[in-house]
Structure 1
Amino acid sequence: MTPSRSGSALPSAAGRRALLRGALAATAAVTLIPLLPTGTAYAYAWSRTLSQGATGADVTELQIRVAGWAADSPRQTRVAIDGDFGAGTAAAVRRFQAAYGLSADGVVGPATQSKLNALQQSDGSTVHFDWSEFTDRVSGTFSGGKLSSAATKENVRRAMYKLEALRKKLGNTAITVNSGFRSIQHNADVGGASDSMHLYGTAADLGVSGVSNRTVYQKAETCGFSGLETYTEDHQHVDSRADLGRAWWWQNGTV
């Protein structure tokens, strides 16, 4: 985990990992594939080169990992996680490749697959985000929300990849997750909305040291986040509510 996080009032990186919790979502009606075995080390074994027209579980995994590269400029668009390698997925792959110094041809061969795998940690989290940053602050787990703990954890994993893209677009600047997944009880205790996206693991409240919330909001507009709270708060809220079939909500509109 990269240690440099936001303001001076925050504890050390190790302390923050123990204190900061969160998650990112999908409703019970939404099919989540593939679900990761909780607590199991995970490394995706790409078995073929992927290109536009391909279908299958490996395409679904690819879409999860490039979802944060949904657009070049602020647009209410997202990469569909449907296992069908269409034009939107190809465009996201090209943006990912260009950002990481690869040949931006939209073809997912060994070099691109290697870079995708380099973004994950051995426990299934991503290189710059730990599970402990997203768990419920009270229980320290992914239980007690609107979904099973396994489904919630998978939503968090998907959110992590979008946040990796956001971090890259912010110049590799460290992001602090101030709130992620919340249990129903914890959400009620803090006065959260009764159907808050935090309850599903599809929302995170962020802080980025040295970067204004307005800038974070603008970059998040290109990452497929369908829920953006106003940047005038003391944090920047992002979520993926459209993955639940909800309407897009950008509180400040397109910035």
Structure 2
Amino acid sequence: MLARGNRGHAVKTLQLDAIRLGFGELLGKAGADGIFGEDTEKTIEALQKWLKIEVDGIAGTQTKSSISKAKNNAGLKGTRNFNIHEFYCKGSNTILSGGMDKNLILNLETLRYELGNKPISVNSGYRTESHNKKVGGASKSQHLYGKAADIKVKGVSASKVYNQANKVFNTGGVGKYNTFTHVDTRSGRVRFTG
């Protein structure tokens, strides 16, 4: 059980999980510092309310289990700041039966946090093969597998988004375009400009 006054790696992991689910802005200036203070307690309370579990500001078994389940279901249900419908194919209004890659959405929450909690717009998420062809996507585009998103961040230049995405999506793909940034969770690091 983690509560106010605890410190260390387990607290930092809890804070990072809160960021990946969209609650980073509540952590205050300290962020994921490994110290369970007032801001972390308030963050856990907000997270518990969102998870629809008992709200006590303590990360016990139920809270940890619910956080883990929410992370595992992020590709099917989304997170606090990303509704899964934002990732539906723009041509067919569908998504893969298994949903999007959970790490794509969790990383997007981290990116949002790292960019000052500015709203991220998803221009393109999942694409069917026919829609991918229609928009001129690559034949093996990560969009086909639910592993990619083309994004814009309100009030942040595409180059700044690209630079930060380079860190957050360290082992995936990041593409720099004039008006948007491509991010994906493929295996292996790939960088490109369009």
Q: For structure 1, which runs of at least 5 residues remain unmatched after alignment? A: 1-47, 50-88, 143-148
Report the Cα distance in structure 1 between the residues aligned to 2:156 and 2:78, rounded to whole angstroms.
Answer: 24
Task: Spell out the pairing of 1:1-255 with structure 2 (5 A cutoff).
Answer: 93=13, 96=16, 100=27, 101=31, 104=34, 110=59, 113=64, 116=67, 124-142=77-95, 149-151=96-98, 153-155=99-101, 157-225=102-170, 226-230=172-176, 232-242=177-187, 247-251=188-192
Report the Cα distance in structure 2 between the residues aligned to 1:164 and 1:129, rounded to whole angstroms.
Answer: 8
More strand by share: 2
Q: Given the two structures, how large is their TM-score scaled by the length of structure 2? A: 0.63
Greater RCO between the two (CA within 8 Å, min separation 6)?
A: 1
Percent identity at matched positions?
Answer: 34
More helix by share: 2
Q: In 2 relative to 1, CA 103–229 (structure 1 residues): closer, same or farther, beyond 3 Å?
A: closer
Cα displacement (A) at 1:250? 1.7
**AA at the equivalent of 2:13:** V
Cα-Cα RMSD: 3.6
Aligned to 1:74: none
**AA at the equivalent of 2:190:** W
Q: For structure 2, which runs of at least 5 residues remain unmatched after alignment? A: 3-8, 36-57
**AA at the equivalent of 2:140:** D
Report the Cα distance in structure 1 between the residues aligned to 2:189 and 2:32, rounded to whole angstroms.
Answer: 32
Cα displacement (A) at 1:191? 1.0
